Amino acid sequence: MNNNIPLRALQIFEACARLESCSLAANELSVTQSAVSQQIKQLEDYFQEKLFYRHGGKINLSDAGIELRERLAPVFYDLNSVCSSLAQTMEGEVRVHSYTSLAARWLVPKMEQLRQVYPELNINVGMFQNDIEMSDMIADIFIVTREFQDGYTIIPLVTEKLMAFCSPQYLEQTNLINVNTLDQHCLLYSKHKDYGVDWDTWYRNNDITISPNQRKIIFNHNMLAVQAAIYGQGIVLGLEQTLKVELDCGNLVKLELPACYSGLTYYIAYKTSKKRDQRIMRIVDWILDNYPVDLV
């Protein structure tokens, strides 16, 4: 016997012994009966013992097989208990975590529509401001800006294109808003960890010189800047997809100013090993089908 413990073979043996059938074990573990036979042969070579004999569709354990089954039973019970305690406990629940603005301004308004499509699912929505290390202990589906993480399938959702918005009241009460009159208006700045201050990026990308007399209010999050714009305090930059609710209900209007690509792309991500989980894939497909990639 060598020191390389054949864990997969032990798992297959445990299923065969518990179900008293190699074919049933193959179905439970989603492997072929040939793979089961190979793993059992590997385990018998490892122990140098015959573990069971086949009789028709069932198996009879040898004395060595009976002893191995009895010793493995509590081990697999403990493993299942540990995994169950770490995994989600609510059947039918799908956990979706997203960037703050995407979660609050796009995902949450869509919850009722999603619930009508999949009434059997309970959606658990969470949000974060900075990219996190994805884990299925945190959520099943993530909307992030990272392009790669081991073990995850990551699909592009939208490239961030910043456009200018203000409230209808602000537009009515002020002078004409264009590139040449921006210094007459208050710009609502917000900071981002990856590309810095949004209006600075806008000026730089559009090769426009900012006036030294430019009025501004600076916020540490775009959601605060958007709220200030709704209250008529100035002009804000934002991703049109996340502001669609505010545009549709008349809280904001889009201005005829140049756009600016921030350089960020948002991705939807899920653990590759969960691609057969229909609950998760239904929500992934729904988000991909319903997210307005290009509104311009």
Give the model's pLDDT for residue 293: 59
Residue 247's identity, in one-letter code, is L
Q: Are 291 and 143 in contact (CB under 8 A)?
A: no
Q: Can you list the alpha helix ranges (DSSP code H) found in the chain?
A: 7-19, 22-29, 33-47, 63-86, 100-102, 111-117, 168-173, 198-205, 222-230, 244-248, 278-290
Residue 57's identity, in one-letter code, is G
Q: Are 10 and 16 in contact (CB under 8 A)?
A: no
Query: How do residues 51-76 score in pLDDT, each as one tens digit?
Result: 988 876 678 889 998 899 888 888 88
Q: What are phi and psi of 242, to 5 degrees?
A: -80, -10
Query: How do residues 22-53 score in pLDDT, each as one tens digit?
Result: 888 888 888 888 899 899 999 999 999 999 88
User: Is the pLDDT reported for residue 240 higher than 90?
Assistant: no
N residues, the chain: 296
Place of tokens 């311009």: 296
281 or 133, higher pLDDT:
281
Q: Are 93 and 251 in contact (CB under 8 A)?
A: no
**What mean pLDDT is predicted for residues 228-236?**
95
Share of the chain above pLDDT 90, in %: 31
Numbers of helices and strands, H then E, in the chain: 11, 12
101 or 286, higher pLDDT:
286
Give the model's pLDDT for residue 90: 45
**232/184 Cα distance (integer angstroms):** 15
Chain-centre distance for alpha carbon 188: 30
**What mean pLDDT is predicted for residues 146-170?**
91
Q: Are 290 and 166 in contact (CB under 8 A)?
A: no
Give the model's pLDDT for residue 142: 93
Give the model's pLDDT for residue 104: 79
Give the model's pLDDT for residue 295: 37
Query: How do residues 182-197 score in pLDDT, each as one tens digit?
Result: 989 999 998 876 656 8
**95/270 Cα distance (integer angstroms):** 11
Element (H, E) at 16: helix 7-19
Helix, strand, coil content of the chain in percent (nearest 5): 45, 25, 30
Give the model's pLDDT for residue 291: 80
Place of tokens 């040449």: 180
